[in-house]
A and B are shown apart, each in its own frame.
Chain A
């Protein structure tokens, strides 16, 4: 069964169309890159899948169900900003994740936090931005979710941390799960992608297997992206 299915999915903000009747099917066990220039609809698609937005037209289904509190239990979402309560520390956050998400793996989170020598008692507001980004990713990837929605997980992070984040993603998602990564930094992530989706002005420009796309175009995904979206 497909993890995510969109049929004629549209989202408008007033007169502006962010997504225009897109059809999309994401199979399980795949790491998929969602790429496109600013304003192409990447974040809107992810928010619709997380039910942070409601579609204007069409449908979106997660594991066969329209987004609801049931599908939120299956989706692990990493927004493109700091979203953790800044008065909490890692210990309290792990307790909170464990309280709300039955698929939260505390041991996995503890292992990753320990690897990075992150102080479990330090409040989020006292951490550097890079450390907060890592804590957010660790909490997101410590769930045994069916669908991981990662919105710009490596934006604003130094190159050394990017490698850590990508390794964390690859080594922590379950084989039956789907990972959707939205990013501008294609060259950094393209080696881990099974598939790639190009979004252009709210429409799907292409959705292809990464290796096939590289073979057909004779270019890396990053090079092909620059060619397609050249200003």
Chain B
């Protein structure tokens, strides 16, 4: 059932985000072509630059909005009547939303990477590309196993932090669901309070007591994954035991 839930959530987001990513890539390619042809002044170039930067920012905001909306609309609004009538556990619903959120966050990152890559490749001349390639090869030649491991570690920490942030948004929606009014305010208040509490605990408990905190990979994971687990348990409890759809 998990795979089926992810499939339908994925489709729901794809209907909105795929066209935005396509626009982003097309705008990037046209922008790079204008740069290459030295047509980088004039009203068209200015308009295109604005459109491109707006689409870049908009795609990020759009992805975040879709992730939050799939949880809120799919489970806590009218669609929740269908979701919770499906023969699926509450925990499976939450896990499906989380998997979908991670997939689309990574896709957003990939779309931005492709956009920048296109601008660099199309806008540069052949000689510049060859030079860039040589410099990159020289740079990679300097990279040893430790640096690669460090990059992989940083990436995995970013992913765990991303998961913790998504879980916090879910918990915020779940807590706000317990109230009849001022839901947005309650959600924002809850998220801000948790962020402040978490930062305080991390700095006071971990940073002050474990001098090697910054170098300790395990503690980095722990300070993301323990809060994420707490947010998930809270979300599950509210959705499974205190659900009351309007």
Contacts and interface: CB of A to CB of B under 8 A. Distances in A.
Nearest to B89: A69
Interface string B1-41: 10010011001100100000000000000000000000000
A52 B87 CA distance: 12
Q: How large is the interface on B (under 10, 10 to 19, 20 to 34, 35 or more residues)?
A: 20 to 34
Interface stretch (A71-79, A196-204, A211-219): A71-79
Interface in A42-93: 47, 50-54, 69-70, 72-73, 75, 77, 79, 81-85, 87, 92
Given A52-B243, A79-B81, A100-B4, A87 B88 contact: no
Contact of A53 (B11, B78, B87, B244): B244
B79 A73 contact: no
A185 interface: no
A85 B245 contact: no
Contacts of A75: 85
B182 interface: no
A54 B84 CA distance: 13
B241 interface: yes
A133 to B, nearest CB: 13
A225 interface: no
Given A13-B244, A51-B84, A83 B4 contact: no
A72 B82 contact: no
B230 interface: no
Contact of A96 (B8, B74, B84, B88): B8
Contact of B85 (A77, A81, A99): A77
Contact of B78 (A51, A72, A82, A92): A82
Nearest to A79: B81
Nearest to B77: A83
A85 B84 contact: no
Contact of A100 (B11, B88, B242): B88
A73 B87 contact: yes
B137 interface: no
Give the contact-size bracket for chain A.
20 to 34
B79 A100 contact: no
Contacts of B84: 50-52
A98 to B, nearest CB: 10
B12 to A, nearest CB: 6
Contacts of A87: 12, 15
Contacts of A84: 79, 82
A201 B245 CA distance: 21
Nearest to A11: B244
Contacts of A72: 85-88
A81 B81 CA distance: 9
Interface string A15-53: 000000000000000000000000000000001001111
Nearest to A14: B180
Contact of B82 (A47, A54, A85): A85
B1 A54 contact: no
B81 A101 contact: no
Contacts of A77: 81, 85
A70 B87 contact: yes
A115 B141 CA distance: 70
B8 A83 contact: no
Interface of A: 13, 47, 50-54, 69-70, 72-73, 75, 77, 79, 81-85, 87, 92, 96, 99-101
- What are the 9 closest A-B residue pairs judged by CB atoms, nearest first? A83-B81, A73-B87, A79-B81, A72-B87, A69-B87, A77-B85, A83-B82, A100-B86, A99-B4
29 contacts: A47-B245, A52-B84, A52-B85, A53-B244, A54-B242, A69-B87, A69-B88, A70-B87, A72-B86, A72-B88, A73-B87, A75-B85, A79-B78, A81-B78, A81-B81, A82-B78, A83-B78, A83-B80, A85-B12, A85-B74, A87-B15, A92-B11, A96-B8, A99-B4, A99-B7, A100-B1, A100-B87, A101-B86, A101-B87
